[in-house]
Structure 1
Amino acid sequence: MHATLPFLFAVVILIVLVQMVAKKIHVAYPILVVLAGLLVSLIPGAPKLTLDPDWVFFIFLPPLLFEAAWSISFKGLVRWYRIIGSFSFLVVFFTSLSVAFFANYFIPGFSLALGFLLGGIVSPPDAVSAGAIMKFVKIPKSTATILEGESLFNDASSLIIFRFAMIAVATGQFIWSDALLSFGWMVFGGAGIGLALGWLFVLALKRLPTDVPSGIVFTLLEPFVLYWVAEQLHSSGVMAVVTGGLFLANRRFSVMGSEARIKGVSVWESFVFILNGLVFFVIGFDLTEVVDGLQKAGIPLQDGIYYGVMVTAFIIFIRIVASYIALFSTLIFRRSIVSPDFSFRKNWKTPIVLGWTGMRGVVSLAAACSIPLYLKDGTPFPQREMILFISFVVIILTLFIQGLTLPILLKKIRLTGLTPSHTNKHEAERELRSELWRFSIVEMNAKYEAHAQKNLFLATTLAKWQQKLEATEDDLFNAEIRTIYIDLLEAQRQFLIEKNKDPKVDEEFIHKEIALIDFEEERVKMH
């Protein structure tokens, strides 16, 4: 423990440094973190980090999914639920089944059950990698919402497939009636448990006298409770976390104050970043151990690489095909939700982008590592080392090949988006702000006109709202004015830092004022 703990601290520091480098060179940080893990594993005397799949499923997965549920647009999720549902369940099942037949035909010693097991492992794309990559390029909101929504639910469907495949391998039989009942309880039971517990959490946050720190800690505990309760009831913990997270996210403004929301975002971003970094580091770090396991099983390394590359190419192809099918289905059956000026002839490359975002990650890793060494009768688990190695090859290749080429692909293919765009986004935002200022002026005059005439602060605020309403866009925040204002804010910040050197000045007051300046700068940058 004393030897491992300093190593883990060093790993966290390394992840932070790698993320800084990745941001500077415009590369998704998961790619470089995996590479860093691989390089560290080659250092003589480096401690071994044996990945416990239970840790991934319980410690890593719930908060990652919970945070994603809080970040996604619920309106977009409802709008595109058909495509999201097809990618999350139908495409995952189709991919798993296709991989089953592919592995059974091409890989020696693979039964359909083993192929289905492999398919359940490699079928779900990883949202973290795609999200990190899409930060460097512009992508239509509709496409981003589809990808984010898919990532919320595909983990649940793939893990359910994985469980059924494990039963089929262990027992040698597959009973469809039992499987359908179990599938229904896992999906709908998990969703029901998530909604029920989410309602209890909302009630608790409303009734209990929580302050900012306890409220944030409360949100940190929620995903673990949701997952654990659902798993104890033999349902899907992933579905419980996702549905409970969505329920809570849509009630955050009624149960959490502004300070808790602002501070909570920073806490969650840091927490999720560390979790993601550790997972991707372990992917690279454990690769050498997986290679050793393959060779100890008597399987030539070149065979493992060959089959891993074949499976990777196959699942990429399957996802692109499924993307075209999903787009055609939407154009045929739900034309009303697609932009009227959308032309398939001009946008035939859009499904390629959707298909090329299928990088694999944390769920595939955890599922592969959870395969037991032995069956219940004591016999070695068939093809375990080959399945594990192929899974790692798929994760590595999709991260590096698709991850590095996706920004280039997105720049070459200019996506117009699927949703109608009757007004320019910038004009729509300007109009909404104008409506907010009109409402504020009416509210002030209706309720507090007498106070506004007597109080300098309220009078000044009312005058500012009126000026903003009457001003043109150039009168407000154009690029030049924004730069000047931010420079003035920085000057204020430096003034306060200098004043803080005076022993007589209250340092706490200085910190509060600098925090207000920071919030003001972020507000200006959002315009």
Structure 2
Amino acid sequence: GAIVAPPDAVTAVAIGHKLGLPKRLMSILTGESLVNDAAALSLFAIAISQIASTHSFIENPLALFGYSAVVGPLVGLVIGFATLWIRRHLDNPALETVQGFVVPFAAFIGAEHIHSSGVLAVVIAGFVVGSGSLRAGYQTRLQERYLWHSVDVLLEAFVFAYIGLQMRFIIDDLRAAKESLVHIAWASVLVLVVVLAIRPICVFLMFGRAAVSRRIDAAVNLETPANPRRAARSGEKRKKPSRWAGKIDGRPLTWQESTVVAWTGMRGVVTLAAASGIPATVAGGGDFPERSAIIAIAFVVTIGTIGIQATTLPWMIARLHLHNEAEERYDYEQTKLAEKIADRASAGVLAEFRAAPPDGLDAETVAVIDATVARQSHDAEEMPDPEKHNRRTDAFIKLYLDVLAAQRAALVADRDEGKIEDEAVRAMLERLDLQEASLSARMESRL
């Protein structure tokens, strides 16, 4: 069960990107893959330790799982916050990027060294470092963005190559173990059917439960007379949104979206890697029971889910018409809100500049710099010539860097207060990073 439990989001995300799947569904698929993989692999490790009779400092499997589930994330938190602390004392984008690349390995090895869940440690460390990346330098963010994109492409290619390369070894193992191919085939089909059926059942049960709960809440709110004092208190509480409000999309899934989520349970390299990780022998020296059969079943389930679900998913997405104008309008509004926040921060810095300009600049120069920076916040090509007007250029550069810093600080502050979505903030920060990179390149051309 633990071997075939974790879904592989690589195929679903690849198809979703190609067909324009809503971003919220993409986030659900990638997020559930992280959590499910961590939980399933932790259970798998505990089950293997019990079957193979390997030594464990906690003999009770439930206690061992609880220890792994608690200590692993704690290790991830320590590694993540230590990484952010080190980054605050570094001023080298290359070192910060390399450090970010090493974090998953450090978290995994550190957690496994104390017999806890390395996968959970990696997930939590990634969350911590990712949330703190908004406060890193623009060069670090740009470098990490392209680095991890390249790593994603390599891992996606490795996943499908690994699946294909495993077939020959699985067949050889079955022949060596003299397993009945008919029995293996029937067992594989049975497990495949269960895997294909159980996810839609669970998804639609949760969808139905959520729909019923919303209807009950609506009925209760209509039937219950309003209490003025309670309404006033609740209104006061709503004035300050939760800091997580901008990071959590509370909109309910439609039945079309739930259908796609239910049908994106493809298994992949995690299932095959877990099956291949079964030890060949147990503690007494005997062969691990039914090892080759388990690996073969895992392979059939992986190929079956990819062959059935991945091939029909594009047709399903097209038939369900997931094009959501309301979501597109919401995303557009979030983008405009990010621009509004950045413009407001820019206006504040420019007002301070006009009120107290640097010494040595006349009123005309101040007006030119002010207008140029104001336009620059919207047009990255509007730059002063770095070879001319050195004093004006220096004032422009300082002012524009102050504007960028104020815009970033305002965006992050509003994100933390739950006033704007995290994704819109990251998109706006990418624009600001590219603008600062363009400015830095022109500054370097003066040297």
Q: Which residue of 2 aligns with 1:439?
A: 345
Counterparts in 2 of 1:381-396, with a 5 A limit?
A: 381-396=288-303
Matched, 1:380 2:287: yes
1:127 to 9, 34, 40: 9
- Assess if the C-alpha contact under 8 Å between 1:359 and 1:403 holds in 2: yes
Q: Which residue of 2 aligns with 1:329?
A: 209
- Distance in 2 separating the partners of 1:196 and 1:338: 29
Q: Which residue of 1 aligns with 2:116?
A: 235
1:400 to 307, 326, 345: 307
Residues 275 and 145 (structure 1), Cα distance of their counterparts in 2 relative to 1, 3 Å cut: closer
Counterparts in 2 of 1:390-429, with a 5 A limit?
A: 390-415=297-322, 424-429=330-335
- Distance in 1 separating the partners of 2:328 and 2:278: 51
- Distance in 2 separating the partners of 1:131 and 1:422: 19
Residues 425 and 170 (structure 1), Cα distance of their counterparts in 2 relative to 1, 3 Å cut: closer
Residues 387 and 221 (structure 1), Cα distance of their counterparts in 2 relative to 1, 3 Å cut: same
- Distance in 2 separating the partners of 1:196 and 1:334: 39
1:460 Cα deviation after fit: 2.0
Q: Which residue of 2 aligns with 1:509?
A: none
- Distance in 1 separating the partners of 2:354 and 2:171: 72
- Distance in 1 separating the partners of 2:41 and 2:125: 18
Unaligned runs of 5+ in 2: 218-248, 382-430, 439-447
Query: Which AA in structure 1 matches 2:119?
Result: V
- Distance in 2 separating the partners of 1:386 and 1:334: 46
Residues 273-311 of structure 1 show CA distances to partners (whole Å, capped at 9, x for unaligned) of 223322321220121110121122222434433332331
- Assess if the C-alpha contact under 8 Å between 2:71 and 2:116 holds in 1: yes
Q: Which residue of 1 aligns with 2:83?
A: 201
- Distance in 2 separating the partners of 1:460 and 1:407: 48
Residues 338 and 327 (structure 1), Cα distance of their counterparts in 2 relative to 1, 3 Å cut: farther
State TM-score, norm by structure 1.
Answer: 0.59
Residues 64-83 of structure 1 show CA distances to partners (whole Å, capped at 9, x for unaligned) of xxxxxxxxxxxxxxxxxxxx
- Assess if the C-alpha contact under 8 Å between 1:126 and 1:361 holds in 2: yes
Matched, 1:190 2:97: no
Of 445-454 and 267-276, more deviation after overlay is shown by 445-454
- Assess if the C-alpha contact under 8 Å between 1:190 and 1:235 holds in 2: yes
Residues 204 and 430 (structure 1), Cα distance of their counterparts in 2 relative to 1, 3 Å cut: closer
Query: Which AA in structure 2 matches 1:394?
Result: V
Query: Which AA in structure 2 matches 1:454?
Result: T
- Assess if the C-alpha contact under 8 Å between 2:73 and 2:120 holds in 1: yes
Counterparts in 2 of 1:151-190, with a 5 A limit?
A: 151-170=33-52, 178-190=60-72
Residues 498-519 of structure 1 show CA distances to partners (whole Å, capped at 9, x for unaligned) of xxxxxxxxxxxxxxxxxx9x95
1:334 Cα deviation after fit: 6.7
1:133 Cα deviation after fit: 1.5
Residues 409 and 374 (structure 1), Cα distance of their counterparts in 2 relative to 1, 3 Å cut: same
Residues 446 and 359 (structure 1), Cα distance of their counterparts in 2 relative to 1, 3 Å cut: same
- Assess if the C-alpha contact under 8 Å between 1:360 and 1:399 holds in 2: yes
Q: Which residue of 2 aligns with 1:314?
A: 194
2:172 to 282, 288, 292: 292
Matched, 1:366 2:273: yes
Query: Which AA in structure 2 matches 1:248?
Result: V
Residues 325-375 of structure 1 show CA distances to partners (whole Å, capped at 9, x for unaligned) of 222333345788754xx6x9xx44443311211111122111100112221
- Distance in 1 separating the partners of 2:120 and 2:342: 37
Matched position secondary structure for 1:320: helix
Residues 448-502 of structure 1 show CA distances to partners (whole Å, capped at 9, x for unaligned) of 454684154542232466xx6xxxxxxx9xxxxxxxx99xxxxxxxxxxxxxxxx
Query: Which AA in structure 2 matches 1:271?
Result: V
Residues 210 and 354 (structure 1), Cα distance of their counterparts in 2 relative to 1, 3 Å cut: same
2:96 to 189, 193, 215: 215
1:408 Cα deviation after fit: 1.4
Q: Which residue of 2 aligns with 1:105?
A: none
1:245 Cα deviation after fit: 1.0
1:397 Cα deviation after fit: 1.7
Residues 244-272 of structure 1 show CA distances to partners (whole Å, capped at 9, x for unaligned) of 11111111132x21012101211222123
Residues 193 and 267 (structure 1), Cα distance of their counterparts in 2 relative to 1, 3 Å cut: same
Matched, 1:353 2:260: yes
- Assess if the C-alpha contact under 8 Å between 2:104 and 2:122 holds in 1: yes
Matched position secondary structure for 1:251: helix
Query: Which AA in structure 1 matches 2:97?
Result: I
- Distance in 2 separating the partners of 1:464 and 1:316: 54
Matched, 1:460 2:406: no
- Distance in 2 separating the partners of 1:219 and 1:185: 27
Q: Which residue of 1 aligns with 2:153?
A: 273
Counterparts in 2 of 1:336-347, with a 5 A limit?
A: 339=251, 347=254
Residues 195-252 of structure 1 show CA distances to partners (whole Å, capped at 9, x for unaligned) of 1121111111112x34121111111111100000000011101111111111111111
- Distance in 1 separating the partners of 2:328 and 2:213: 22
Query: Which AA in structure 1 matches 2:121?
Result: A
Give the root-mean-square deviation of aligned CA atoms.
Answer: 3.3
- Distance in 1 separating the partners of 2:194 and 2:293: 17
- Distance in 2 separating the partners of 1:331 and 1:435: 35
Q: Considering only CA atoms, is the larger Rg found in Structure 1 or Structure 2?
A: 2
Query: Which AA in structure 1 matches 2:117?
Result: S
- Distance in 2 separating the partners of 1:223 and 1:143: 25
- Distance in 1 separating the partners of 2:369 and 2:308: 57
- Distance in 1 separating the partners of 2:261 and 2:201: 10
Matched positions, count: 346
1:159 Cα deviation after fit: 1.2
Residues 391 and 213 (structure 1), Cα distance of their counterparts in 2 relative to 1, 3 Å cut: same
- Assess if the C-alpha contact under 8 Å between 1:283 and 1:365 holds in 2: yes
Q: Percent identity?
A: 31
Query: Which AA in structure 2 matches 1:382?
Result: P
Q: Which residue of 1 aligns with 2:24?
A: 142
- Assess if the C-alpha contact under 8 Å between 2:265 and 2:305 holds in 1: yes
- Distance in 2 separating the partners of 1:244 and 1:334: 35
- Distance in 2 separating the partners of 1:264 and 1:348: 36
- Assess if the C-alpha contact under 8 Å between 1:316 and 1:355 holds in 2: no
Matched position secondary structure for 1:250: helix
Matched position secondary structure for 1:286: helix
- Assess if the C-alpha contact under 8 Å between 2:53 and 2:283 holds in 1: no
1:428 Cα deviation after fit: 4.0
Matched position secondary structure for 2:196: helix
Of 363-372 and 328-337, more deviation after overlay is shown by 328-337
1:129 Cα deviation after fit: 1.8
Query: Which AA in structure 2 matches 1:322?
Result: C
1:392 Cα deviation after fit: 0.8
Counterparts in 2 of 1:42-57, with a 5 A limit?
A: none
